[in-house]
Amino acid sequence: METILKASGIVKYFNEPEPFKVLKEVSFEVMKGQFLSIVGKSGCGKSTLLYILSTMDTDFEGELEIRGEQLRGWKQNDLARFRNENLGFVFQFHYLLPEFTALKNVMLPALKLGKFSTEEVETRAIAKLRMVGMDSYAKKLSSRLSGGQQQRVAIARALINDPAIIMCDEPTGNLDKANSQKVFEIFHQLARENHQTIVTVTHDTDFAGGSDYIVEMQDGQIIRA
């Protein structure tokens, strides 16, 4: 199997109010098409690790490799383009723009990337909405959708540039059991059928239990993988 993400000896310090080592020599690999859950009690460092893996936080020691690229030391503009081309993001809160339709929200990252015409982007966005069962709501304002529907639109937005990896921070944290199951099924399908890699931080034991691979953290270290 192809290694899609590799973390080697990741160390992270917080310096306020005094220096504190929040991640301690974290190393692991994720394969293409793998569905990975990072679990652990609040404060164990899992969200901090996710932000480093997603290239949002560049202030760390160690090495981060994604799709064969060593990303340590890259300039912010280069990292931003790499993120937009290779990574998709789903958070606990959907962060949709309420004044835009579902379709327009999904189109935005692709319009920013600039690889396709507006017409092509719209066609791609409708296809992604169809994947998550939301194409019939394409022209509806995102503010008029339910919480579960908004999260599915957010997943479609994360997929618009066909990312190799989808990074998720508590993607079911604000959802009821039925909608959490729908989100899980979407991610499972993406990993199985599209061979996209899912890396998610979660407190949801049912969600984590259904994934391919669990990394458990405690006090800034991996205690089980």
Residue 215's pLDDT is: 93
| Structural domain contains residue 217 | yes
CATH of the domain at 218: 3.40.50.300
| Structural domain contains residue 179 | yes
Count of the separate structural domains present in the chain: 1
| Distance from C-alpha of 59 to C-alpha of 168, rounded to nearest angstrom | 20
For residue 9, give the nearest of 61, 76, 78, 81 by alpha carbon: 61
| Structural domain contains residue 212 | yes
Taking residues 7-17, report their average pLDDT.
90
| Structural domain contains residue 38 | yes
Residue 112's pLDDT is: 86
Full residue range of the structural domain in which residue 170 is found: 34-57+75-224
Query: Quick count: other Cβ atoms within 10 Å of Cβ 206?
Result: 12
The overall average pLDDT reported for the chain is: 91
Taking residues 190-217, report their average pLDDT.
91
Flag whether pLDDT at 1 surpasses 90: no
